[in-house]
Amino acid sequence: MGSADTGDEIIFDLLSMIHVHRSGRVERFEPTPFVPPSFHPATGVDSKDVSINSCSGLSARLYLPLSAAGSGKLPVVVFFHGGGFFLHRAASSQYHDYLNSLAACAGAVVVSVDYRLAPEYPLPAAYDDSWEALQWVSAAGDPWLMNSGDLDRVFLAGDSAGGNIVHNLGMRLGRGGRMVNGIVMMNPFFWGKERIGAERKVPEGAIFRTEDVDRVWPFVCPGSPDLDDQRINPTAAGAAGLAAMGSPRILVSVGSLDLLLDRGIDYCEKMKESGWGGEVEFMEVEGEDHGFFLLFPGNERAAAFMETMVNFVCKI
């Protein structure tokens, strides 16, 4: 009897990162293991997992730099991991290691949100979870936030799909008349129907191909009309005005080899032209591709970006 008769046939394969079987079983291929929270001796940062909503399973991993104890309240960075809305967790080792370093270098309380993933929970589940987590942070939902976090200095940060989440949170905040202190988007996942820049001719050796990226959004958001949905293409014709952004400062960073480079550039240009009135900084990292700061955290360019991000958070 063939696999098509057993229900184990693979009916969807995306980037060799996720398989969906005819039976409905979802198989993910995580590039790094999951790790528990713990004290990290190299950075002097402690971490713990906290439930935000026991019904939906929403949780977060919190990071607290012990060296900052007694030095007053610390800025709060609410972080959203990448993975195309279908991969990775807050417990993924590459994010755990990176956020230990960020908490230590920035002297910040970091909240890494563990939102629900597609396809089991298609969008807008991740957006809804992220919004709920932000409200929880604003209400000082944990003693680390209450005792050590300065809730007048809250920053949103995320990479890839997490960068997309951060943009959409910022827009929702602004429409409600609320603000955070700053937004950091690392290689944010924006896309669209019309090819721009390097999308017309993908650089040799690039991590992603245009046709693969085309398939991500319909997979994670099957109810979306198309790739010009304003949630994935905030600069599309008819998208909500960027002037509503609920942050006075934005930092966007993309590697020069990243297929998403031109989307990041276009986003920053359109933000400046929108009448928003805030300050946007774009950092193109020469010779690097998607997620370089996670894949090669010890290299010179990753260290330079960490310094830029820390300065952004610590700027008064």
Q: Side chain identity at 316, as an amino acid letter?
A: I
291-to-62, 132, 243 alpha-carbon distances in Å = 22, 26, 28
Dihedral angle over CA of 133, 138, 141, 145, nearest 10: 110
CA 181 to chain centre: 17
Which 8-state DSSP code applies to residue 34?
A: B
- 160 catalytic, yes or no? yes
**Cβ-proximal residues to 247 (8 Å cutoff; 6+ apart), any chain:** 156, 170, 173, 174, 179, 180, 181, 182, 183, 278
- Token pair 């193109």 is found at 284
The CA angle 20-24-28, to the nearest 5 degrees, is 40
- Out of 112, 160, 247, 253, which one is annotated catalytic? 160
Token pair, residue 61, equals 């991993």
Which letter does DSSP use for residue 203 in this model?
A: P
Phi/psi-derived region of residue 151, left when phi > 0, alpha when psi is between -120 and 50, beta in every other case? alpha
Q: Which runs of consecutive H residues, i.e. helices, occur in 246-299?
A: 261-273, 292-295
Query: Catalytic site residues?
Result: 160
